[in-house]
Chains A and B, each alone.
Chain A
Amino acid sequence: MSDQKTPPKSGLPTKPSSGQQGPGYQPRQSSKWPPGAPRASTTAQPRQSVSGQARGSFRKSTRQSNRSQGGTETERLQVVVDGVDRTPKPLLSLNPTVLKGVQNDTTTPNSESSEFFMDRMSTTAFTKAGWYSNADSGTHTPKSEIDYDYETEKNRERKAAEEMAMAAGYGDDAGTGAGDLARGPPREEEPPPTPVLLSERDLERSVYLTLHETETIFIWQAAGVTVAMDTEEAKTVEEANRRYANLLHTKQATDKYVDAEAQTLVALTKSRDVQSAVLVTRSSAVQATAWDISDTFRALDEAAADAEDDPRGAAVSASMPSISQMAGGVTKYTGAPKQGGGDTSARVTVAGINRSSMFGGGGTSFMSLAAGAQPSGHMSGLSANLNLPNGVPVEAPAAAPPELADPLQALSGLPEALMLMDYAINQNNYLQQLLLYRDIQPLPGIRSSVTAAMRGGAASSGGGPGDDADSDVLSHTGGAPGRDTRPLSAAPSDGGRSHHSEMGRSGGGFQQQQPRMSNLPGQLSRQPSERSIPYSRGLSLRDGHGGGGDDRRSARHSHGGGGGFGAGGGGGYAASVAESNWPEELLQELADLGDDAPRMEHLWDWVCPMTAGKNVACMGWNKANPDLLAVGYGCYSFPSGNATTNNTTAQNQQQQAQQQAAGTEAGSSSAGGASGGGTSSASSGGTAAAAAAASDAIKGLVAFWSLKNLQHPLWSFEVKAAVTALDFSTYSPNVLAIGLYDGTVAIYDIKSRQGTPSMESDVHSGKHADPVWKVKWLDHGPERDEPLVSISTDGRVTQWSIAKGLEFSDLMKLKRMARRGAGGPPTTAAAAAAKEGGGAKAAAAVPEQQDAFISRLTSGMAFDFSSRDERIYVAATEDGWLHKCSTSYSEQYLESYRGHMGPVYQVQFSPFKRDMFISASGDWTIRMWQEGRDTPLLTFQASTTEVNDVQWCPTNSTVFGSVTASGRLEIWDFSLSTVKPVMHQKTTMKMSCLLFAPNYPVVVCGGEDGAVKAYRIFNVSHEYDTLQEQLERLDDCIRANVMKSQAAA
């Protein structure tokens, strides 16, 4: 049914829109509103034309409009056809909301001039909103009005309520200037009167509103009709229904839809750009310390105090940040205004600030201050002051500020860095020496250029110019530039000038080697040239090869000739040996070698204040890192005391002296006891200070030197007694065994860097009763244990195992042998000789007059294990015997070797010929032995002092080195001479130990001044020879020399 009833609705007349608007609008509608205005009530007008009922009222309204319009000049033409208003619609529909602002401008002040909406539209608003015509086409005016109607519906209702209130409120003020407005219809487009018109009174006035019920309006009414089917009406009704259904049916298809475009109004917004100056921010930072800030504010306070009589100062101080601001960690301070006339350049001396910070130590902080702050004139005038960027003068600290917590404490890596730096400086300082040590020969040209550059002025010492050599030298020394423009590599082309080169002119591309420390060149140069030596050969070689590079030149031969040297002659010859008295033959041979002559060059001393003055007692290379040298220090000489017989000799000699002195009445062990007792008596007898000094002197030290730092040990630790022996383990390179003067054997783990031993022998665990003179780890291969063997004056050769604690087993107790020969004191008794073990065959063979032993044990001084048989070792004793022993037999010697008249301080097997060993003794001699011969093969003696140490050269089978108590370091090459060392080095102090570097042609030695001296030896090593060649050379030498000595005998 609803379908049937709705279509007529569209055609029904409606009452004027006032009915929708409520009664309050009715009068205004009729009196004021122009007919063509896009009023909501007019929306239905085109359709009203078909409705008959409402015509009257509409015309009436129109007439009213006409009448009211007639009064105005702008008469509007109205076309009324058949009672229907056919007035053309404006081509442009204007949305009142858009014009609202315009209307405000134009109409509000005088309502008379803007009586008609169309007027306003067509004049001001129309032209002002001219762009609007494009947006809206006139043909769609009704539609757009409808659109408008809907979209402003809500607005209208709201404003209607406002206007009602307004109309009621101003109803009484009809007489006022606004009366016309109040009486007239306040258009909804019009804003309410400006609040200026309202007074307090108005606001408090009561407003009465009367609400009436709207009369009921029937728009359409159709009562349902029910007709019986059998009546006549039924047919008509059915006919009517059918027609209606038809109509509906056709209507469906005849619905006319017009595809028309519609535009909705875009809400116009205007985005406006605002121009302003760019905000420029700058920040600058300075550093300030805590005291800096403190001083700053003290100065601030003073400035504030001064401000009384200086207004500008007051301004400055006012511009300063407050203390709380600053202390609160101000990061950006922008409040410092510029001083007008007093501006000077900000004296921001960064140097000054840093300087102050530097003194300040710890609490440095950062402050960021605005860059704009500048000091005022009178402030910056204090030029002596430090000016912070904020213009505050700070008194320069007169004295260093109180030291806060040292900032160095926080730098935890600093010691390591310093160590590193120490290495670097050392490497710089000792670059040449280190290169020499490493057997690296810089190219001559490079070297000369480097040294020339180092010396600065003579940088142009390239090849000699072709003119006079003297002026050349002058130019070098004078450093005249511009003359020597030749490249560095230019060689002197003049052959005749080679003489100048030989004479030691140091310029030129043929840079000569540094001056040799060896005395041999000096000796050679003193030799007259009558020897018809091709003297220039050596020099030309030197020029060509840079000297030390000729090491492997095997120009040396075994010289069978030259007999007449009393080799092995014992002490008789040595007394007459003077250094200047070189055998002519040796000199000739050396001269024949030319520059290949062995020579020695001092590299450096490993010494530091900590070790200076302490006697170097023993040394040992680390097996894994051959650049690491462990050195044991210990002073053997006592400052005073009745127990010591001679405080200038080494303690081992004291020991020996005591032994020999007591040899007639006391055994060695009791002599050791006497020594200990003597020490204690010296302590008790002397003053307390002397005792303290003695105990200090007794303390030992172990220092670890390396090539990294030649002036400071890598590490060192003190031990309770003088160190007398040490050795690194082979398979645990961090394990160091040391033997002490008090008989202790201790094991240190140097990796832990702790000055306490990880294991130590005590009286319950086999501690030696007397000084331990040698310790050595036995290399039995990586699979087997590495036992430690020690030897001591108490006569025991002890093997230590560190597998489970420090366990000991005595390999041998060295029994005293009967001494024979005229040189030795008659200390052996014939009866005692019978008691000796099987090893005493020599004693048994030659019965002599001998005293009875008091002690059966003799003192061991040194031992060495054979590389041929790991059980075989040779022990050197204090009474001059050498005993070959086996670890399998702890009771008897395998062989005994006689010959030494004094204590044997060192023994070592040859690294090449494994049944040969060499020994050094206090009887001034060095003797070479071979297993199976109980007399020495060769005897060497070059001086009249004890030989404290002897070592084979690891790279030449015929070379060994020795040190003497008179301070001579001697390198022997018995292929050249068995009488004199081929080179020697004289020092003033007593030397006690010697070592060849395992991998470089370097020998190190130590003495009582605490310095470990390193010497580079030239032209000695034959490291490129095969073992066979080495052995052949060795055998040849031995054979020749033995024949010689036998012939001499």
Chain B
Amino acid sequence: MVDVAAVDETFKRLQSHKGVLGIIVINADGIAIRTTFDNDLTVQYAALVSHFTVKARSAVKKLDGDNDLKFLRIRSKKHEIMIAPEFEKSHEYYLVVVQDPSKET
């Protein structure tokens, strides 16, 4: 059981970081259970990121069966999309943070 209050606090802290545009937690069904984006963007991220992550994981696992994907960073021209996936069946989720690293302090 996760301490939701602590998690929410961490969410706030992450959100307060410079350049962080939004945070999404996507469950195994591809449903966002926490988000700071608006609906459309959330849905887009949820759909695209989970597919991408599964692909990336399969790449990792095919290279080495014992290996697994733990973290994923996508550096794009504008953003950096960071994905921390968890593939354990009982609590599968994807934590997605989108950051604009070009924002200066």
A residues neighboring B (CB under 8 Å): 287, 350-351, 354-355, 357-358, 361, 364, 366, 406-415, 417-422, 424-426, 428-429, 431, 453-456, 711-712
Contact = CB atoms under 8 A, between A and B. Distances in A.
A411 B91 contact: yes
A611 to B, nearest CB: 14
Contacts of A287: 29, 31
A429 B33 contact: no
Contacts of A711: 13, 17
Given A406-B4, A414-B7, A428 B19 contact: yes
A351 B1 CA distance: 30
Nearest to B40: A351
A364 B95 CA distance: 19
A350 B29 CA distance: 14
A399 to B, nearest CB: 16
B2 A415 contact: yes
Given A358-B32, A711-B13, A424 B82 contact: yes
A354 B46 contact: yes
A407 B84 contact: no
A355 B17 contact: no
A214 B66 CA distance: 91
Contacts of A350: 43
A207 B39 CA distance: 90
Q: Is the interface of B mostly helix, strand, loop or mixed?
A: mixed
Q: Which 4 A-B pairs have the closest CB atoms?
A: A454-B102, A417-B84, A428-B101, A407-B33
A308 to B, nearest CB: 37
Contact of B17 (A410, A419, A425): A425
Contact of A355 (B3, B10, B43, B101): B43
Interface string B28-67: 0101111100011011001000000000000000000000
Contact of B7 (A351, A415, A420): A415
A817 to B, nearest CB: 52
A409 B77 CA distance: 35
A424 to B, nearest CB: 5
Contacts of B101: 428-429, 431, 454
A364 B33 CA distance: 11
Interface string B60-95: 000000000011010001001010101010110101
Contacts, number: 124
Given A358-B33, A408-B25, A455 B102 contact: yes
Nearest to B17: A425
B71 A364 contact: no
Given A287-B29, A417-B95, A409 B2 contact: yes
Contacts of B82: 421, 424-425
A275 B88 CA distance: 49
24 contacts: A287-B31, A351-B39, A354-B32, A358-B32, A358-B42, A361-B33, A366-B29, A406-B4, A407-B27, A408-B7, A409-B1, A410-B91, A411-B2, A411-B86, A412-B1, A412-B91, A415-B10, A417-B84, A421-B95, A425-B20, A428-B80, A431-B101, A454-B104, A711-B13
Contacts of A428: 19, 80, 99, 101
B17 A364 contact: no
Contacts of A420: 70-71, 84
Contacts of A425: 14, 17, 19-20, 82, 97, 99
Given A354-B31, A413-B86, A418 B39 contact: no
Contact of B86 (A351, A407, A417): A417
Contact of A429 (B19, B23, B27, B90): B19
Contacts of B99: 425, 428
Given A409-B1, A412-B2, A429-B18, A453 B102 contact: yes
B17 A414 contact: no
Nearest to A459: B77
Contacts of A415: 2-3, 6-7, 10
B65 to A, nearest CB: 21
A408 B43 CA distance: 18
B13 A422 contact: yes
Contacts of B31: 287, 354, 357-358, 364
A411 B39 contact: no
Contact of A418 (B10, B43, B71, B91): B10
Contacts of B46: 354
B17 A424 contact: no
A418 B95 contact: yes
A424 B10 contact: no
Nearest to A360: B31
A354 B73 CA distance: 25
A425 B99 CA distance: 8
Contacts of A410: 2, 90-91
Given A413-B86, A417-B95, A424-B97, A408 B13 contact: no
A712 B91 contact: no
Contacts of A411: 2, 25, 27, 86, 91, 93
B7 A418 contact: yes
Contacts of B6: 415
A408 B23 CA distance: 14
B87 to A, nearest CB: 10
Given A408-B7, A408-B33, A421 B97 contact: yes
Contacts of B20: 425
B11, B70, B82: residue with the most chain A Cβ atoms closer than 10 Å: B82
B102 A421 contact: no
A711 B16 CA distance: 10
A355 B33 CA distance: 10
A354 B104 CA distance: 35
Nearest to A357: B31
Contacts of A364: 27, 29, 31
B5 to A, nearest CB: 10
Contacts of B17: 422, 425-426, 429, 711
A36 B34 CA distance: 97
A413 B25 CA distance: 12
Contacts of B80: 428
A363 to B, nearest CB: 11
A406 to B, nearest CB: 5
A417 B97 CA distance: 11
